[in-house]
Amino acid sequence: MQLAEVVGTVVASVKSEGLEGVRFLIVQPLDRYRKPQGRPVVAADAVAMAGPGELVYVVGSREAALALPVPFVPVDHAIVGIVDAVERAR
Amino acid sequence: MKLGRVAGTVVSTISHPIYDGRRLLMCDLLEASGEDTGDYLICVDTVGAGAGEVVLIVDEGNGARQVVASPEAPIRAVIVGIVDELVVDGSTLDVTGR
């Protein structure tokens, strides 16, 4: 799982079966110091509460689909938590 | 599996229910030589690892779901061990908490 910042929203009215009602957000993956790392990706919002500007953590690959109400859907990134704080000892 | 050093914790109130009551640790990934790779993973802790410790990480969904005993858990990275000793090419690397 990786840290990411929500930078935008995606609206799609025609979607694959099983994705009805799932929110999609554009997230920018972050490095360990919360600096942008790589290109933004579209992630399904499994907590249904994330919004632009928020720090979240994202799970990738097949585990992303398992976070959603219908577990076998074609998604490759999902937001599984909103981060309150990251406490780095070093 | 991967080697990592526990760098800190991630606190999250609003999350997928499978994460309730689980500790999320931020782990800096290490080369076999013990050097920092610059990458990191947010991992679910299943062994009680602490800051600075070198740990063994499974970054693969099937293994992770088996560890948390939930066939539909959206979890991919799990800490499954705390490393006591690491010997590479005959030399012992420092794995003590720093």
pLDDT for A90 beyond 70: no
Predicted confidence band of residue B76 (pLDDT cuts 50, 70, 90): very high
- Total number of domains constituting chain A: 1
Residues with Cβ < 8 Å from B35, sequence gap 6 or more?
Answer: none
Contacts of B2 in chain A (CB under 8 A): none
pLDDT mean over B5-31: 94
Residues with Cβ < 8 Å from B69, sequence gap 6 or more?
Answer: none
Predicted confidence band of residue B33 (pLDDT cuts 50, 70, 90): confident
Q: Side chain identity at B93, as an amino acid letter?
A: L
pLDDT mean over B62-77: 91
Domain that holds residue A26: 1-12+21-60
C-alpha distance from B87 to closest chain A C-alpha (Å): 24
CA angle A63, A65, A70 (to 5 degrees): 140
Higher local confidence (pLDDT), B96 or A84: A84
Report the CATH number at residue A27. 2.40.50.220
Cα separation of B34 and A9, whole Å? 40
pLDDT of residue B97: 56
Selecting from A32, A59, A86 the residue whose C-beta is nearest the C-beta of B74 gives A59
Structural domain includes residue A76:
no
pLDDT for B55 beyond 80: yes
Tell me the per-residue pLDDT of A30-69, one tens digit each, with 9 for 90 and over. Answer: 999 999 999 999 999 999 998 899 999 999 988 999 999 8
Give the pTM: 0.87
Structural domain includes residue A67:
no
Domain that holds residue B12: 2-90
Structural domain includes residue A88:
no
Reduced to 3 states, what is the DSSP secondary structure of residue B90?
Answer: coil
Q: Which of A27, A32, A61 to mutate to test the interface with B (most CBs of B within 10 A)?
A: A32
CB-CB under 8 Å, B16 with A81: yes
Q: What is the ipTM of this complex?
A: 0.81
Report the CATH number at residue B38. 2.40.50.220
Q: Name the pairing type of β-strands B23-30 and A2-10.
A: unpaired
- Total number of domains constituting chain B: 1
Structural domain includes residue A47:
yes
Nearest CA in chain A to B62: A63
Nearest CA in chain A to B50: A89
pLDDT of residue B96: 72
pLDDT above 90 covers what percent of chain B?
69
Structural domain includes residue B59:
yes
The conformation of residue B15, written as its DSSP 8-state character, comes to B
Structural domain includes residue B96:
no
pLDDT for B59 beyond 90: yes
Sign of torsion over alpha carbons B31, B33, B38, B40: positive
